[in-house]
Amino acid sequence: MEDTAVLNTNIIVDSPNVVYTDSEIISSYDYSDARVHGNILTPTTERLVFKTERHVPRVGALLVGWGGNNGTTLTAGILANKLGLSWETKEGTKTSNYFGSICKSITVRVGIDDNQKPVYVPLNNVIPLLDPNDLEIWGWDISGVNMGDAMRRAKVLDWNLQQQIYPMLKEMVPMPSIYLPEWIAANQEDRADNLIHGTKFEMMNKIRHDIRDFKNSKGLDKVIVVWTANTEKYCVVRHGLNDTAEHLLNSIREDSDEVSVSTLFAVASILEECTYINGSPQNTFVPGCIELAERFNVLIAGDDFKSGQTKLKSVLSDFIINSGLKLQSVVSYNHLGNNDGKNLSTPETFRSKELSKSGVIEDVVRANRLMYKYDESPDHCVVIKYVPFVGDSKRAMDEYVNEIFMGGKNTIALHNTCEDSMLAAPLILDLIMLAELCTRIQVKRDKDEKFTKMHPVMSILSFLLKSPLVPSGSPIIHCLFPQRYAIINFLKALIGLPPESFLMLEHRLE
Ligand code: NAD
């Protein structure tokens, strides 16, 4: 007999703290922690009320860089799932799935049954989530190649699958986009043939028009915009340029050279009240852009999809340091041969990626001043090389060296073949599905009159992002386990269930 059970239906919580109406789930939730004063700790509990709309509206996603490897892989993957496609490979028949998406492929422990066995439900049965098969998808690309040929250019999916999907994808052509060559590598110029022209203000308005047009023509309730275009160089943050919303809007009106393309897309989305997600490492969200999102109460999330090497690093550094071993050196080599790798082969765009990848061990080190002195941290080096032959099949090689008991050394060497876009596409889906959920949630402290939306900066999505953007003054969490349980426990809170404690006292007491 199985020692766990999986419930494949929506669940109902029977509790005086949870009310289901036709349109909402209202949960009263005790958020517990402890306040620390000197060496005195006082447990605290604050009652919060969450209100979640039950109805999932009609949602569309607009991808910037739609014709790239991620954009084509995601679009083809959704279509294949929608149509239930299967295809032959030399290893046999493969069928469409959503592996790699936590919303579609993981289960959550929700309690125990009468035999004290843990019961699990699929994550998307905890709270109503968007079904990716219902997602309308479209986008912009500086390359005007149709999506069928762009999928072929990407060389990611199996040929037999491509053949089945090609006729549908070839009818889809990306909308023209904004191209400012100085922001990405010069080697991208030869694909830039599908462009909007004009001043920055005019081009941003065209993007706003495209968003409205997409929403109206497809009859959508909500649109989410995702940047999955090339990595840009970092932009300067300067007083008067982009430090406030007003300054940023003025800089756009004045056609300032130092407003990046991605910031133009973010501002256009925010002004159209559409959630904006940044899947690349650059600092799109300059302070003025964040202030604008706060002013319009529009949700934003970033930066840089956390798919392969960094994801593993955020597990391993946690595992090593929280086993009491002193991680002293992390060296990561990557080589990849896709267009992302080509774009990252210039120093400015590489620098954005290097910065995004290098913060990942900081929080776990900072939390342990027992082994690490103040200001001490492990050596951490990241190398990325462009090797066309390996295509989208990125190689990531890491060496971790730990100091162990009584002067010993423990060395871990890893080789990780990341099918880059097939790892990233389901993450993009999760970001869209969870961000959409966040737009349906309102919260208030028990004593407050009014409900408000979540904080516009969605740090709850950190699990999916290499360099998580957090509200000003909040700690940044990189470790994968706390990030994942932040999402799971948050979804449980929305239906009035306690956080996963792993205590299992039902099995540990006499
Ligand atoms: P890609 O180069 O295949 O696709 C990027 C697309 O963006 C290209 O089609 C390009 O023509 C287009 N583009 C460039 N500038 C544009 C603009 N101004 N407007 C519209 N389109 C524009 O890259 P990819 O592999 O799809 O990755 C996309 C982004 O995601 C990269 O920045 C990459 O660093 C980031 N990322 C990818 C992964 C992963 O695992 N695949 C992980 C983390 C981050």
For the segment 187-201, the average pLDDT, to the nearest whole number, is 95
Cα 223 to middle of ligand 1, angstroms: 20
pLDDT in the model for residue 355: 78
Alpha carbon distance 65, 451 (integer Å):
36
Q: Look at residue 311 and tell me whether its pLDDT is greater than 80.
A: yes
Q: What is residue 5's predicted lDDT score, i.e. its pLDDT? A: 76
Cα 173 to Cα 190: distance, rounded to the nearest angstrom: 18
Q: What is the pLDDT of residues 453-498, one digit of tens each?
A: 999 999 999 999 999 999 999 999 998 999 999 999 999 999 999 9
With a 6 Å cutoff on the Cβ, whether 142 touches ligand 1 is: yes
pLDDT band of residue 510 (cuts 50, 70, 90) is confident
Q: What is the mean pLDDT of the chain?
A: 94
CB 98 within 8 A of CB 83: no
Q: Is-contact 158 94, C-beta < 8 A?
A: yes
| Helices and strands in the chain, H and E counts | 14, 19
Q: Encode pLDDT of 198-218 as tens digits.
A: 999 999 999 999 999 999 999
Q: Region 312-327: what's the mean pLDDT?
A: 93
- Of the candidates 57, 126, 165, the one whose C-alpha atom is nearest the C-alpha of residue 432 is 57
Instruction: Write down the pLDDT at residue 1.
Output: 59
Reduced to 3 states (helix: H, G, I; strand: E, B; else coil), residue 399 is strand
Residue 114 structure tokens:
């009468």
ipTM above 0.85, yes or no: yes
Closest ligand 1 atom to 308 CA: 40
Read off the pLDDT of each residue in 252-272 and give the average, rounded to a whole number: 97
| pTM of this structure | 0.96
Q: Are 227 and 278 in contact (CB under 8 A)?
A: yes
Extended strands (E) in 299-456: 300-301, 326-336, 379-386, 393-404, 408-419, 441-445, 452-453
pLDDT at position 95, please? Answer: 97
Per-residue model confidence as pLDDT tens digits over 86-103: 999 999 999 999 999 999
What pLDDT, on the 0 to 100 scale, is given for residue 361?
86
Tell me if 310 CB under 6 Å of ligand 1.
no
**Token pair for 446:** 């028990």
Residue 93 is given by DSSP the state E
Atom of ligand 1 nearest to the CA of 344: 34
Question: Roughly what angle, to the nearest 10 degrees, separates helices 69-83 and 159-169?
Answer: 90
Contacts 24+ apart (CB under 8 A), 90-95: 94/158, 94/161
Ramachandran angles phi, psi of 368, nearest 5°: -130, 85
Q: Quote the CA–CA distance of 261 and 43 in Å, as a whole number.
A: 47
Query: Which residues are within 8 A (CB) of 318 and not within 5 positions of it... i.e. 6 or more apart?
Result: 364, 479, 480, 481
pLDDT tens per residue, range 333-369: 999 898 888 888 888 888 887 777 778 888 888 899 9
Q: Is 304 in the pocket of ligand 1 (CB under 6 A)?
A: yes
pLDDT for the residue numbered 9: 79
* Residue 439: burial class (beta carbons within 10 Å; 0-12, 13-18, 19+): buried
Residue 308, CA distances (Å) to 348, 395, 432 in order: 22, 10, 19
- Name the residue of 228, 265, 304, 311 to mutate for ligand 1: max ligand atoms within 8 A of Cβ: 228
Question: Mean pLDDT across the stretch 291-303?
Answer: 96
CA of 341 to the centre of ligand 1 (A): 10
User: pLDDT tens digit string along 399-440?
Assistant: 999 999 999 999 999 999 988 899 999 999 999 999 999 999
Hey, which of 196, 230, 305, 417 would you mutate to test ligand 1's pocket, going by the most ligand atoms within 8 Å of its Cβ?
A: 230
Residue 118 structure tokens:
């843990």
pLDDT at 330 over 80: yes
> What average pLDDT does range 165-182 have in this prediction?
97
Condensed to tens digits (0 to 9), the pLDDT of residues 130-146 reads: 999 999 999 999 999 99
436 lines ligand 1 (CB under 6 A): no
The string over 359-379, giving b where at least 16 C-beta atoms fall within 10 Å of a residue's C-beta and e elsewhere, is ebbebbbeeeeeebeeeeebe
